[in-house]
Amino acid sequence: MSVTLCGVELDNPVIPASGTFGYGYEFAELYDIDCLGTFSFKGTTKEPRFGNPQPRIAECRSGMLNAVGLQNPGVKAVIGEELPKLGKVFHKPVMANVSGFSVEEYAYTCARLDAHPQVGWLEVNVSCPNVHGGGMSFGTDPAAAASVVRAVKAVTTKPVIMKLTPNVTDIVSVAKACEDAGADGLSLINTVQAMRIDLKTKKPLLANGTGGLSGPAVFPLAVRMVYQVYEAVSIPVVGLGGVSSAEDVIEMMLAGATAVQVGAANLRDPYACRDIIAALPGVMNKYEIKTLRDIIGGAHG
């Protein structure tokens, strides 16, 4: 089941997605998280953020909306407090997810996390739809996304994976711009901008107005975008968006994903990733798959 992501070997391709797994140690109280390929920890910014006002979670059929707004303690506290606790329960390289509100902020935060020995990859989020003045505003413009890549690559040594937004007309143009600027990999998709309205108050359910849709509803969209981006670039793709089973992992890899992140499923069932990993050998046997490396991009001609 092993795969290699940007030069780093994973025991399996299953990765809990940022924002759904905290900094890992909460889940370590439930099961041995060393069974994971790796995980992407909570989105980290230069300064602490309290996030958006409540309510910031809304349920819907086949998924959920969130507008958490990158709540996190800031990079100084993450390095000083969160990563030492994580190191006691997770003994593999971890993926550091980074957000920012300027090119300079992205570079500052990435440089500091890059220096931490447990960080194996930097996942640079240019796709958060729930903050103003940052996140998705970089990911919807190929030139802006490329400027973040160049700034981060100039101050880091570890692989840089750009996390792309689906809230664009052409995700391929953004992906290619990131590759041309020096990105080592791409992860996609982040949540899809969406809304629910409360029939009693006749107002949006979320205080932010809109939120990011995740869960099974977005899976076919994510598969399509991973397929398209895989065809257009030569760097590894991490597929995510609505993945909730071992079969979904196989489908995403056939579309072109080297590794696969699991997001909203962790919020519904904290054992989701453990159970998906346990189910993978049986699904591989069912579909006569001997090694997962061999099926990456297998759906392409």
Q: State pLDDT tens for residues 151-184.
A: 999 999 999 999 999 999 999 999 999 999 999 9
Q: At residue 129, does pLDDT exceed 90?
A: no
Quick: pLDDT tens for 57-96. Answer: 999 999 999 999 889 999 999 999 999 999 999 999 999 9
Q: Which residues are catalytic?
A: 128
CATH number 3.20.20.70 given to 3-295: yes
Share of residues in the chain with pLDDT > 90 (%)? 92
Q: At residue 131, does pLDDT exceed 60?
A: no
Relative to beta strand 203-204, strand 185-188 is unpaired
Work out whether the CA dihedral 76, 80, 82, 86 comes out positive or negative. Answer: positive
Share of residues in the chain with pLDDT > 70 (%)? 97
Quick: pLDDT tens for 230-282. Answer: 999 999 999 999 999 999 999 999 999 999 999 999 999 999 999 999 999 99
Q: Tell me how far CA of residue 3 lies from CA of 12, 122, 214, 279, in angstroms.
A: 6, 18, 26, 17
Distance CA 172, CA 274 (A): 32
Q: At residue 117, does pLDDT exceed 60?
A: yes
What rounded mean pLDDT belongs to the chain?
95
Q: Specify the pLDDT at position 301.
A: 83
Distance CA 254, CA 292 (A): 10
Q: Specify the pLDDT at position 69.
A: 87
Q: Specify the pLDDT at position 139.
A: 81
Q: What number is the average pLDDT over the span 42-68? A: 93
